[in-house]
Structure 1
Amino acid sequence: MLALGGQAVIEGVMIKSPRYVTVAVRKGKSIKVKSTRFRSLAERNRIFGWPIIRGFAVFVEMLGAGFKALNYSAEQAGEGKRMNRNETLIATAIAVIMGLFLFVWLPYGLTSLMGLSERDSPLAFNLFDGIIKLAIFIIYIYLISLMDDVKRIFAYHGAEHKTVHCYEAGKKLTVTNVKRFSPIHLRCGTSFVLTVILISVALFSLIPFAVKAIWPGVYGLSTLPRLGSMLLIRMIALMPIIAVSYEVLRASSKAQDSILTRTISYPGRLIQKLTTREPDNSQIEVAIASVNEALRREGVSS
């Protein structure tokens, strides 16, 4: 059985199979489907397939594939012209900077303003930092979920999960069969983001001890250079955090029914209740079209 991932796009669903990225978009009464050959970083260089390293590689691949899929879906849905390579890179850079601001710089700054010291109380500092990150994440998801366009994207998100569930259960991909499955999926990107936040609390708590050993003079710097240095260290530390989070979700997906997995995945599954909605039949049809085309391209029968 193939490992399928994906995401919801504007009026559609993107499915990433081992060798292809397939996007299906609803266009009136028809469904427009596009499949592009995908060559992973691990396929180009085996080092990117190694444990830990592969996590960050997959993250970068999904980020790139996701932006291209959103760009294509926006064009098909009539919401704008297709972005060129430079525009896509700029949009990606803006998204990354916004993510860093919301989930690294802002929580760190607010925690510092509370009077907590990362040097003297690393555990308390990073616990509050993590709580602020989680609050920002939940509030952001809740606020955008109130928008009509986003409600439809979240419904396509649910359709994607249901259809992948149906395929993984070995059932024929029909609307009736797909509707029986849950819109919550263990390997969802929402769960991934939450896992990153939780693991960052633990790893960031160790940073002050490492910094004291490697660069003890950093705490003697004036306020702005010191804060800037610590934020830069955190940004660099995001790479191993993303990698470890991927390995956690990967291991969990192989033992989905275990008590440990269900306990670890519970917060992520809970958050998915905000990021997924029950799809209608037409949205399920789009998700089925995307999965079917991905399987056809891979030479697998559905």
Structure 2
Amino acid sequence: MGNARKEKIQFNTPSNIYVVKNGCPVTYPPHWHNAAEFTIILKDGCRYRVSDTFYELKKGDVLLIWPHQIHETVSIPDNAALFVQFSSAIIENSLDLVSISRFLYDCHYISASKEPELAKYITQEILEIKKIHELSDPLSETQCKLCIYDILLKIGNHVLAEAKKETSDDLVSRKRSWKYIHAACNYIMENSSDNITQSEVAKEIGLSTYYFSKLFKQHMNMSFPAYLANIRVRSAASLLLDESISITECAFQAGFQSTTAFNKTFHDITGYSPREYRKLYKQ
């Protein structure tokens, strides 16, 4: 994936949604973009790679690519897939979606055989978006965004349900716990550029530091420092797109306290140094 390049997606102002019109390219090299890309599979034999994971998809399956994720179309038959791309702002402007992004961004493959209802729902919504987009109604952008949010809600409920299967708490306890986690994630997202601590977040939501640490790891499948690091790296990745901002400035604006910590954390999470990542975008 080292030769990945930046794909520039031009949204038609003021729309933040793009629908492929003439079929997906049968092959496309490793690339990334500051947008989400959801693909529905219309024929068997579609082969993709997301980061370092290879997927061979069949008719009815769905592939989910989230903002900043490197991916590649290895090979697909002619007219075998249809995709919709939408601005990351659609996700980032909803704090509840941001708070569960840890789960959303790990979800790439919806199997039609294992999750038939979800795969069918996403497929129908994307086909509806394509239909709305082609009609060019004065309110088509809003209609398309409603479809996107419907899809995100379905996927969000799906990933949360999968995460909750791993806990043995009763339903009432889980709901109470998730309220704390949701509040914590929102607070982290809004204050990630500051030098916030686990104790500060725990106090903000009304829990002891020890219990918050335990609860957070149980529900998010990662520690508080790891989650905060991921949020900051995602913020830094967006800042790196602006060449007028130095890499050092990107680090501090994102909330890192030193360039050394920034470089190491950024590479650990993305697989690239900040300089390499910026170069990828320029290409």
TM (norm. structure 2) is: 0.31
Q: Which has the higher contact order (CA 8 A, sep 6+)?
A: 1
User: Which structure shows the higher helix fraction?
Assistant: 1
